[in-house]
Amino acid sequence: MGDRPAEVRIHDFLEVDTGFSPEEAIAEANRCLQCKKPACVDGCPVNINIPVFIAEIAEGNFANAAVSIKTQNMLPAICGRVCPQETQCEILCILGNKDKPIRIGQLERFAADEERRTGIKPQDKKPSTGKRVAVIGSGPAGITAAGELAREGHSVVMYESLHLPGGVLTYGIPAFRLPKDVVNAELDQVLKLGVEVKLNHFVGKSVSLSELLTYDAVMLGTGAGLPYFMNIPGEHLNGVYSANEFLTRVNLMHADQFPRFDTPIAKASRVVVVGGGNVAMDAARTARRMGAKVTLVYRRRSEDLPARLAEIHHAEEEGIEFITCANPTRILGEQVVTGVECVRMQMCELDASGRPAAKPIDGDTFTLDCDVVIQAIGQGPNPVLVREIEGIERGRAGNVIADGDGKTSHPKIFAAGDVTTGAATVILAMGGAKKAAQSICSYLTSK
Amino acid sequence: MYTIEKSNEIADKIFEIWVDAPHVARNAQAGQFVIIRIDETGERIPLTISRARGDLVRIVFMAVGKTTHALAAIKPGGNIADIVGPLGHPSEVKSWGTCVIVGGGAGISSTPCIAEALKKAGNKVIGIIGARNAGMLIFEDEMREICDELHVTTDDGSKGRHGFAADVLKETVADQKIDAVWIIGPAIMMKITSMATRDKGIKTFVSLNPIMVDGTGMCGSCRCQVAGKTVFACVDGPEFDAHEVDFDLLMQRQRYYMEQEKEAIALWNQHGCSCAEGK
Ligand SMILES: Cc1cc2nc3c(=O)[nH]c(=O)nc-3n(C[C@H](O)[C@H](O)[C@H](O)COP(=O)(O)OP(=O)(O)OC[C@H]3O[C@@H](n4cnc5c(N)ncnc54)[C@H](O)[C@@H]3O)c2cc1C
Ligand SMILES: Cc1cc2nc3c(=O)[nH]c(=O)nc-3n(C[C@H](O)[C@H](O)[C@H](O)COP(=O)(O)OP(=O)(O)OC[C@H]3O[C@@H](n4cnc5c(N)ncnc54)[C@H](O)[C@@H]3O)c2cc1C
Ligand code: SF4
Ligand code: FES
């Protein structure tokens, strides 16, 4: 197992982490203590029976391992790659106290990859209930809810506004972290349960609200696709992108392969990425692969970077320069970007989020020359459909308010994923979607 | 896949196609647009809905670059990979009183639909359509049928009045009380023409055409400045108050990919089709 060397991988979009070999997987699985009360499971938002699937791997029964995971999680090859295991299951693994925790994520990925390689068994589903459910959005939340509902025998129509399904898995997370054939294979398994997908349907526009409400229930999984901008001078100059736009042009539209693909993107030689989360790392590493020298500017300290440790490490290996404790104040240029003016930040006492507050140091500024600026400072819930639904309760950030079971203030409408939480994670969206699907099932049977 | 039922060159380099897209047609309203993608390697481009009939959507476009040339080359019975819509807010159709609708070039394509909706809402509708020359004028008959009054201009005087639509608009607002104006055309034409109504404070709408990607408010590519605020034309528009729009910024952002656009059309011209070898 290991990462492909940085000097090789910055020239392509192939996967960085090559995963376990069967021998490595079995050896790692054999380290598991098979705890009677497995702490690791408490950390998993979808309650995968971790020791059980690890035991199957240890025995060499890779296919059984995958089947076991999929009773709880229909997207194991995806989750095995992008879940923040280090802060979920792995941090709770008992072995972490003395030694290294079990690499649960890598094992999950291994089981799923093996199953895909050797042929996937179709899943069981219950007889038809005659109930119709509309699922809006085909990201992790939508796809999970659709799968759960289809397994229960409901007839499911999933609507997606883009021309491909998958949400952020398709247009956001780059292929070097999450290959698109992996996404497609797992989506396919869910669709094989009989879910009907309608692409190019922007619900609220292509499908009216009244038409939507003719379904017996509606599940909202429209995500957090609204990009935030910093509102600083120069933001409208050519060459200033939101991370969403930059990543969509490359991942969904293949602008990196222009002119073979028709979508253009700036040919940048120096790129400044603003932000410090996973999205910022993805944008930076994508720009690097397109040949640019990349600098990432983050307003807090390096130990405060919210991205996964592995991704920060990968970014550093790939030659991305990090400037921490600095924040852009102005984007320079006439028509096209030529640079960014930043101010140094000083770290003060902890703020409400428990992190040290960052305050600008007056007059302590510097300039970075560049031809592209990518803002990766966060996204909000996609407002377009939600704001048109009368009587649905919303939070201050525009998120749909749903209780722990995915119920909204509208009796027929359920919601999960980033549209309820704001930008979060794949697995939290999936966990929420499973609960919402359960609520939909009980709502449909009680009707 | 979506079938192109009909396709015609209706004026010099201006094409009309009818696409079989029931999901778009059944909810389409005046002022809205679609985003299409021709094939697997294609770009997503926005085009106004010129009309909807049954399951069909009419789109009218000028062949300017790679994608619009390729679209024009598709024969009736051929397909495009994707069409999503209707997108954006519909035009603000209500009982205004007397309305003027100004269309320039390919922008004339969206005027019949808006004119008709306004007419139905009980307005008096005056149409002004202008093109570079007689060969590039479209929908004169359609507009004449709908509008109470129609004025035609050409830049070179080859048809109708010699001059610009803006000249006729200036006279019209000087002559009578006008309650609302729509101006649809190239950014520079909208900028200049909307000056004719500014002093009189006449409510004037323009339909902005920035570069888009998703058309659903997700990327921010289409951001414009209106009344000093950032808006996303795809979901907050595409129609905005003309007197509040920063047109210079719009034009600046439209030019960003000029070099790549040239490269793409050169490749297209060399090969002239959208098969794999041409890419
Ligand atoms: C670049 C990037 C990297 C990330 N990296 C990680 C990571 O490493 N690990 C991790 O766990 N999380 C990561 N995340 C976060 C994670 O991807 C999201 O939390 C997750 O995708 C949310 O799932 P969702 O289903 O709620 O929404 P989304 O994935 O956003 O899907 C919503 C879908 O709904 C569609 N839609 C919206 N409105 C409508 C409508 N009206 N009609 C029809 N369709 C509509 C959208 O087009 C979209 O396809 C990352 C996010 C980004 C942007
Ligand atoms: C809401 C909206 C409605 C529109 N309606 C019409 C219409 O009804 N008829 C019509 O002829 N044109 C319309 N346009 C403009 C049309 O989208 C562009 O002409 C088209 O994208 C050109 O593509 P191309 O590859 O042929 O040309 P290119 O060579 O790529 O570009 C030519 C010009 O088109 C603009 N453009 C390029 N790519 C895009 C893009 N992805 N999105 C928007 N603009 C782009 C640029 O300003 C460029 O200078 C509309 C644009 C918008 C935003
Ligand atoms: S806590 Fe660690 S050792 Fe115990 S069962 Fe879970 S993975 Fe195995
Ligand atoms: S086109 Fe992406 S936000 Fe408007």
The reply to whether A236 and A321 lie within a common domain is yes
Average confidence (pLDDT) over B92-114 = 94
Of the candidates A375, A395, A416, which is a domain's last residue? A375
Determine, yes or no, domain membership for A280: yes
Mutate to test the pocket of ligand 1, among A81, A413, A419, A426 (most ligand atoms within 8 A of CB): A426
Determine, yes or no, domain membership for A126: no
Q: Which of A162, A254, A260 sits opposite B214 (nearest CB)?
A: A162
Other C-beta atoms within 10 Å of A170: how many?
Answer: 22
Determine, yes or no, domain membership for A43: yes
User: Are B216 and A249 in contact (CB < 8 Å)?
Assistant: no
CA distance A405 to A435: 5
- CB of A93 sitting under 6 A from ligand 3: yes
> How many angstroms away from the CA of A153 is the closest CA of chain B?
26
The reply to whether A55 and A191 lie within a common domain is no
Residues 43-82 (B) with a CB less than 8 A from some CB of A: 43-44, 66-67, 81-82
Determine, yes or no, domain membership for A127: no
Chain centre to alpha carbon of residue B13: 15
A153 lies in which domain range?
132-225+380-446
The per-residue pLDDT for A99 is: 85
User: Are A229 and B225 in contact (CB < 8 Å)?
Assistant: no
Distance between terminal CA atoms of chain A? 52
Distance between terminal CA atoms of chain B? 21
User: Are the C-beta atoms of A439 and A406 separated by less than 8 Å?
Assistant: yes
What angle (nearest 5°) sits at the alpha carbon of residue A128, between those of residues A430 and A196? 55
Average confidence (pLDDT) over A412-425 = 94
CATH of the domain at A98: 1.10.1060.10
- CB of A137 sitting under 6 A from ligand 1: yes
User: Are B43 and A336 in contact (CB < 8 Å)?
Assistant: no
CA distance A237 to B134: 38
The reply to whether A207 and A242 lie within a common domain is no
The reply to whether A140 and A237 lie within a common domain is no
Mutate to test the pocket of ligand 3, among A42, A50, A68, A103 (most ligand atoms within 8 A of CB): A50
Of the candidates A325, A349, A375, which is a domain's last residue? A375
Q: Which of A227, A258, A336 sits opposite B260 (nearest CB)?
A: A258
Amino acid present at A195: V
The reply to whether A294 and A162 lie within a common domain is no
Determine, yes or no, domain membership for A102: yes
Q: Is the pLDDT of residue B41 over 50?
A: yes
- Which tens digit of pLDDT belongs to each residue from A63-107? 999 999 998 999 999 999 999 999 999 999 999 988 899 999 999
Question: Which chain B residue's Cα is nearest to A164?
Answer: B82
User: Are B84 and A200 in contact (CB < 8 Å)?
Assistant: yes
User: Are B84 and A207 in contact (CB < 8 Å)?
Assistant: no
User: Are B252 and A238 in contact (CB < 8 Å)?
Assistant: yes
Of the candidates A96, A118, A140, which is a domain's last residue? A118
Q: Which of A238, A245, A382 sits opposite B220 (nearest CB)?
A: A245
Average confidence (pLDDT) over A299-308 = 91
CATH architecture of B98-254: 3-Layer(aba) Sandwich (3.40)
The reply to whether A60 and A191 lie within a common domain is no
Q: Is the pLDDT of residue B278 over 80?
A: no
A424 CA closest ligand 1 atom index = 19
- CB of A202 sitting under 6 A from ligand 1: yes
B220 neighbourhood in chain A, CB within 8 Å: 227, 229, 241-242, 244-245
Determine, yes or no, domain membership for A66: yes
Question: Which chain B residue's Cα is nearest to A265?
Answer: B257
B273 is in an annotated binding site: no
Residues 125-154 (B) with a CB less than 8 A from some CB of A: none
The reply to whether A301 and A341 lie within a common domain is yes
Q: Round the average pLDDT of chain A to a whole number and report it.
A: 93
pLDDT more than 90, % of chain B: 90
Q: Which long-range contacts (CB under 8 A, 24 or more apart) does A357-361 make?
A: A358/A299, A358/A300, A358/A325, A358/A327, A360/A327, A360/A329
The per-residue pLDDT for A124 is: 84
Contacting B with CB below 8 Å, chain A residues are 161-163, 198-202, 205-208, 225-227, 229, 231, 235-236, 238-239, 241-242, 244-245, 248-249, 253-254, 258-264, 266, 335-336, 382-384
Q: Which residue's structure tokens are 């409408």?
A: A413
CA distance B78 to B65: 20
Amino acid present at A439: S
The per-residue pLDDT for A298 is: 95
Question: Which chain B residue's Cα is nearest to A257?
Answer: B41
The reply to whether A313 and A422 lie within a common domain is no
Determine, yes or no, domain membership for A337: yes
This prediction has a pTM of 0.95
The per-residue pLDDT for B277 is: 46
- Which tens digit of pLDDT belongs to each residue from B167-182? 999 999 998 999 999 9
Other C-beta atoms within 10 Å of B52: how many?
Answer: 23
Determine, yes or no, domain membership for A19: yes
B179 vs A: CB within 8 A = no
The reply to whether A388 and A369 lie within a common domain is no
- Which tens digit of pLDDT belongs to each residue from A422-442? 999 999 999 999 999 999 999
The reply to whether A71 and A189 lie within a common domain is no
pLDDT more than 70, % of chain A: 100
Question: Which chain A residue's Cα is nearest to B259?
Answer: A264
- Which tens digit of pLDDT belongs to each residue from A117-173? 888 877 888 999 999 999 999 999 999 999 999 999 999 999 999 999 999 999 999
B113 is in an annotated binding site: no
What torsion, rounded to 10 degrees, do the Cα atoms A379, A383, A385, A391 define?
130
- What are the residue ranges spanned by the domains of chain B? 2-87, 98-254
> How many angstroms away from the CA of B243 is the closest CA of chain A?
19
User: Where residue B44 falls among pLDDT bands split at 50, 70, 90?
Assistant: very high
What angle (nearest 5°) sits at the alpha carbon of residue B30, between those of residues B29 and B36? 75
The per-residue pLDDT for A350 is: 75
DSSP state of A260: T
The per-residue pLDDT for B273 is: 53
B269 vs A: CB within 8 A = no
Q: Is the pLDDT of residue A21 over 70?
A: yes
User: Are A259 and B260 in contact (CB < 8 Å)?
Assistant: yes
Nearest by Cα to A203 from A445, A438, A441, A419: A419
User: Are A238 and B256 in contact (CB < 8 Å)?
Assistant: yes
Q: Round the average pLDDT of chain B to a whole number and report it.
A: 93
Average confidence (pLDDT) over A190-197 = 93
DSSP string, A54-114: HHHHHTT-HHHHHHHHHTT-S-HHHHHHHS-GGGTHHHH-GGGGTSPPP-HHHHHHHHHHH
Ligand that lies nearest to the alpha carbon of residue B213, given by its number in the listed order: 4
Distance A35 CA to ligand 3 centre (A): 6
Per the structure, how many domains does chain A have? 3
- Which tens digit of pLDDT belongs to each residue from B224-255? 999 999 999 999 999 999 999 999 999 999 99
User: Are the C-beta atoms of A403 and A301 separated by less than 8 Å?
Assistant: no
CATH of the domain at A403: 3.50.50.60
Q: Which residue's structure tokens are 């920035």?
A: B210
Ligand that lies nearest to the alpha carbon of residue A171, given by its number in the listed order: 1
* Residue B195: C-alpha distances to residues A156, B166, B205, B209, B244 (Å): 52, 8, 12, 19, 11
Please identify, in words, the CATH class of the domain defined by B2-87: mainly beta
> How many angstroms away from the CA of A353 is the closest CA of chain B?
27
Q: Which long-range contacts (CB under 8 A, 24 or more apart) does B197-205 make?
A: B197/B169, B197/B173, B197/B242, B197/B243, B198/B242, B198/B243, B200/B173, B202/B173, B202/B178, B203/B96, B203/B179, B203/B241, B204/B180, B204/B241, B204/B242, B204/B243, B205/B91, B205/B92, B205/B180, B205/B181, B205/B239, B205/B240, B205/B241, B205/B242
Q: Is the pLDDT of residue B275 over 70?
A: no
Question: Which chain B residue's Cα is nearest to A380?
Answer: B218
The reply to whether A371 and A415 lie within a common domain is no
User: Where residue B276 falls among pLDDT bands split at 50, 70, 90?
Assistant: very low
B224 is in an annotated binding site: no
Ligand that lies nearest to the alpha carbon of residue B208, given by its number in the listed order: 2
The per-residue pLDDT for B209 is: 95
- Which tens digit of pLDDT belongs to each residue from B117-162? 999 999 999 999 999 999 999 999 999 999 999 999 999 989 989 9
A163 neighbourhood in chain B, CB within 8 Å: 37, 44, 81-82, 84
